[in-house]
Structure 1
Amino acid sequence: MNKRMVLDTVMLFVFLLLLDLRWVHVPGHETLAILFTILVIIHTIWNRSWYAALSRGRWNRQRKLMTAIDGVLILLFLTIMVSGLSFSQFVLPFGMRQPLWVHRLHRVAGFIMIFVMGLHLGIHWQFLWPRMKRAIFGKSSRVPSWVWKGAALLIAAFGVYSSFLYNLGSRILLVPASQLQRPPVTLGFFLLAHLSIIGLYTAIGYYAMKWAAKRR
């Protein structure tokens, strides 16, 4: 479990660094993209039992919701990877000139992936959270449940604020950058804000799974 937590944590932060070229510029962006792809492949190998189990068992609402979200996440990753490779300039210089819509597809899919990655964490949260608490705090964690719920509420509220601050809806709709406000440019705040957005959608995914469980 510890090695999986390390892998997933590194994968998450690499993905966040890929979202804004101001921090890494194009060569760094492409290098991190290759690293992210390798991490995703390792993650897939370690979770290959999920694919093997698709043809078995009963398909209730929870399983349908989980498979749909995971399927969309896989599709987004493939879209980002293929489109990015097609106009790579440094790491894999294919020298292909792609139309504008390919660049836009690459960008929009990346922003949508923020939300779907949060949903992905949320639908698996009931399995992840107990193991995370044991790994971080040990077996004798005595933090009251209301503290965790309060922290989750604060993260979700900050995620709503950050979504508007960074104009994620407008970016997905391809509103010109000249018409958008300029959010803070410090790397620490950028990472914190986007982690809160993922946390917001983690909460949405978690409660969506609870809703699906009640409506079997």
Structure 2
Amino acid sequence: MATVFFMLMAYHTFGEVFHEITGILSFFLCVLHNVLNWRWYLNLFKGKYSLFRIFHAVINFLLVAVMIGTTISSIAISQVFDFPIFVSTDLARKSHMVFSAWCFIMMAIHFGFHWKIFFGKMRRYIGSRIKKFILSIVLIYGTYQFFNRQIFHRMFGLINFTYFDYEEHIIVFFMDYLVVFMLIAYLSYSLVNSIKGG
């Protein structure tokens, strides 16, 4: 699902039709993911709530909320499908920009809950020095691109449009967003460890 969302971020490369169809696919993958994890919803009112469980539940619900917001706002500005929704195009476009930015962040935080699986596999193939070097790159370059790619600005609606460099190679675009994604995921993982440790 994260892979599909990365493709959605590259709107300027794949075009309007691909973006909207992939957006629909992303929504249904989100629905499927939640359906497959129905037991989690069933157990919401069972057992005690630790700080981690509260944090986990809040992030999951926020992810669902921003995904719904992204979908609704996309319907309002669709140029492929004709939906009779009466809302300001400018408002819908800006809302879509904000929701999609938060969706990216929430998805990365959610991925951070499962970082240990990824990190465990990573340890098998690389040494501790290389691991620390990679983490340093992620922390420094990821922070830089978080602001350089205006993700922060989009999250809080500080800009009206998402600006793309149409001459930029798609691999550079994906690598930058991947590093930001890994940065947020790692921070989420670290916070979870801190909460559990406390």
TM score, norm. by length of structure 1: 0.79
Distance 1:169 1:126, change over 3 A: same
1:114 matched to which residue of 2?
104
- Per-residue deviation at 1:169? 2.0
Distance 1:150 1:27, change over 3 A: same
Distance 1:97 1:27, change over 3 A: farther
1:56 matched to which residue of 2?
46
* Match 2:139 to one of 156, 162, 166: 156
Structure 1 residue identity aligned to 2:78: S
2:168 matched to which residue of 1?
185
Three-state SS of the structure 1 residue aligned to 2:82 is coil
2:5 matched to which residue of 1?
15
Structure 2 CA distance, aligned partners of 1:206 and 1:112? Answer: 18
Is 1:96 aligned with 2:85? yes
For 1:14-52, what per-residue CA distance to the aligned partner results, in whole angstroms no more than 9, with x for missing partners? 112212421122211111111111221222222222212
- Per-residue deviation at 1:182? 5.3
Q: Percent identity?
A: 21
Given that 1:87 and 1:97 are in contact with CA atoms closer than 8 Å, whether structure 2 keeps it comes out as no
Structure 1 CA distance, aligned partners of 2:166 and 2:179? Answer: 15
- Per-residue deviation at 1:176? 4.6
RMSD: 2.6
Structure 2 CA distance, aligned partners of 1:195 and 1:28? Answer: 21
* Match 1:197 to one of 180, 184, 197: 180
Runs of 5+ in structure 2 lacking a partner? none
- Per-residue deviation at 1:97? 4.6
TM score, norm. by length of structure 2: 0.86
Structure 2 CA distance, aligned partners of 1:98 and 1:104? Answer: 12
Is 1:43 aligned with 2:43? no
- Per-residue deviation at 1:171? 2.8
Given that 1:156 and 1:200 are in contact with CA atoms closer than 8 Å, whether structure 2 keeps it comes out as yes
1:175 matched to which residue of 2?
159
For 1:109-137, what per-residue CA distance to the aligned partner results, in whole angstroms no more than 9, with x for missing partners? 1012222211111123235544xx2xx99
Runs of 5+ in structure 1 lacking a partner? 1-10
Structure 1 residue identity aligned to 2:17: P
Distance 1:148 1:56, change over 3 A: farther
Structure 2 residue identity aligned to 1:94: F
Three-state SS of the structure 2 residue aligned to 1:59 is coil
Structure 1 residue identity aligned to 2:100: G
Three-state SS of the structure 1 residue aligned to 2:15 is helix
Three-state SS of the structure 2 residue aligned to 1:211 is helix
Structure 2 residue identity aligned to 1:34: I
Given that 2:63 and 2:103 are in contact with CA atoms closer than 8 Å, whether structure 1 keeps it comes out as yes
Structure 2 residue identity aligned to 1:96: I
- Per-residue deviation at 1:212? 1.0
Given that 2:138 and 2:182 are in contact with CA atoms closer than 8 Å, whether structure 1 keeps it comes out as yes
Is 1:213 aligned with 2:190? no
Distance 1:166 1:155, change over 3 A: same
Distance 1:112 1:64, change over 3 A: same
